[in-house]
Structure 1
Amino acid sequence: MATTETLTAERILEATEEVLRRYGPAKATVVDVARALGVSHGSVYRHFRTKAALREAVTERWLRRTIDALRPYADAPGPADERLTGWLTALFALKREKAGGDPELMATFQVLIGENSAVVDRHEDHLVEQIAGILAAGHREGVFTVPEADLPATARAVFHATDRFHNPAHSAEWSAPDSGAAFAAVVTLVQRALKA
């Protein structure tokens, strides 16, 4: 099997995502990925030494999209309290979109996430770092009264306080008519706590 395009890790990950969407995590194989690319499965293994490594990489790629989409809120100028609300709102919207827009792929990645706890831990750490950056800016601006030494723990607390609105375990609740109001109430509570 030959392909005219150069086989890259990124192309393999794109094909893997499509194969996972089509067959699900239980039935998708490296051979299926290779077939979709028009290459031998050995060519895939040259980039990813094992099926587990491939699944971990595709999970990390999927989670990285969230980090990248939230970066403008974390890095943008402007009042930190507004940036935090924007960041939390964007995270909730991204998760709702993933759950509602492509439920098969969301279910697939739920399985993969369960297999790759280290990837999930790193992902959560990145998100908490973004929150901590916003809180640090708010501390410098005098908007948030959290002591500087407590910023990392406070950022993690904010992440966990809003868990219902970004943890896929709660995705069935996200389409409820009152989910928007519940989200707004939690964000208001978090903002009050940070400013108290």
Structure 2
Amino acid sequence: MGKFSEILTKEQILVATEEALRRFGVAKTSVTDVAHILNVSHGTIYRHFKSKSELLEGVTEKWLDEKIINPLTDVCNDTSMNGPKHLQAYIQTLIELKHHFAREDEEMFKMYAKVTEEAADLIYKHINHITDQMSQIITRGGKKTEESSRLAHAIFYATIRFHHPSHAYEWKSPTIYNEFLDVWDLIEKGLK
């Protein structure tokens, strides 16, 4: 037990925490559960994370980066599109990713929704990352840099119903995609 705890990394703890969350759920997972998976004492976990809340924030940040930001970065950097169609592809990817994980990775999505309510700094960082990428797309589409940032934030919040975890219960509606297309139609007209 001692040797492993000396070389234990934050990354290993975060991976084990994901495993515990998927196994036990966000409400029932404890730091002790994570320690058992790693075969260390719970005190070893606390050397890297001050509290369960900090641990959940770390897992959420890792999950958001890997599952949401990385695929969105690929869409942002795709030079085969430009203008409103590129922005629409970006927003649709954001929506599809969130809907996918709400259905297919329920425990991690619940953890993300819980942390969304408690960790404002992490969520602002996540939102700023997304709106910065949207702003890049808007700028490449011909808008001035100052204007693109304002537009990116407005579009993000105009579409929030389709990608914010507090609206996940609405995503099962058979009309949700058409409702997004109606909102997007207004946004696209406004961009022109």
Fold conserved between structures, TM > 0.5: yes
TM-score by length of 1: 0.87
**Aligned-residue offset at 1:16:** 0.7
**Aligned-residue offset at 1:194:** 0.8
What residue in structure 2 maps to residue 115 of structure 1?
118
**Distance in 1 between residues matched to 2:46 and 2:166, nearest whole Å:** 32
**Aligned-residue offset at 1:12:** 0.8
Amino acid at match of 2:17: T
| Kept after mapping to 2: 8 A contact 1:135/1:155 | yes
Name the SS for the 1:121 alignment partner.
Answer: helix
Aligned counterpart in structure 2 of residue 131 of structure 1, from 112, 131, 134: 134
| Kept after mapping to 2: 8 A contact 1:9/1:47 | yes
**Distance in 2 between residues matched to 1:153 and 1:169, nearest whole Å:** 24
What residue in structure 1 maps to residue 75 of structure 2?
73
| RMSD, matched Cα | 1.9
Matched, 1:185 2:182: yes
Q: Which aligned pairs between 1:138-149 and structure 2 lie closer than 5 A?
A: 138-139=141-142, 146-149=143-146
**Distance in 1 between residues matched to 2:169 and 2:78, nearest whole Å:** 32
**Distance in 2 between residues matched to 1:164 and 1:113, nearest whole Å:** 15
Name the SS for the 1:174 alignment partner.
Answer: helix
**Aligned-residue offset at 1:115:** 1.7
| Kept after mapping to 2: 8 A contact 1:16/1:33 | yes
| Kept after mapping to 2: 8 A contact 1:25/1:112 | no
What residue in structure 1 maps to residue 15 of structure 2?
14
What residue in structure 1 maps to residue 109 of structure 2?
106
TM-score by length of 2: 0.89
Matched, 1:158 2:161: no
**Distance in 2 between residues matched to 1:161 and 1:173, nearest whole Å:** 16
**Distance in 1 between residues matched to 2:182 and 2:3, nearest whole Å:** 53
Deviates more, 1:50-59 or 1:152-161: 50-59
**Distance in 2 between residues matched to 1:109 and 1:23, nearest whole Å:** 15
Structure 2: unaligned runs, 5 residues or longer: none
**Distance in 2 between residues matched to 1:99 and 1:51, nearest whole Å:** 23
**Distance in 2 between residues matched to 1:52 and 1:101, nearest whole Å:** 24
**Distance in 1 between residues matched to 2:102 and 2:52, nearest whole Å:** 25
What residue in structure 1 maps to residue 64 of structure 2?
63
| Kept after mapping to 2: 8 A contact 1:70/1:87 | yes
Deviates more, 1:153-162 or 1:22-31: 22-31
Deviates more, 1:158-167 or 1:104-113: 104-113
| Kept after mapping to 2: 8 A contact 1:3/1:39 | no
| Kept after mapping to 2: 8 A contact 1:60/1:119 | yes
Count of residue pairs the alignment pairs up: 189
| Kept after mapping to 2: 8 A contact 1:3/1:38 | no
| Kept after mapping to 2: 8 A contact 1:48/1:54 | yes
What residue in structure 1 maps to residue 171 of structure 2?
174
Amino acid at match of 2:76: A
Identity across aligned pairs (percent)? 37
Q: Which aligned pairs between 1:23-34 and structure 2 lie closer than 5 A?
A: 23-34=24-35
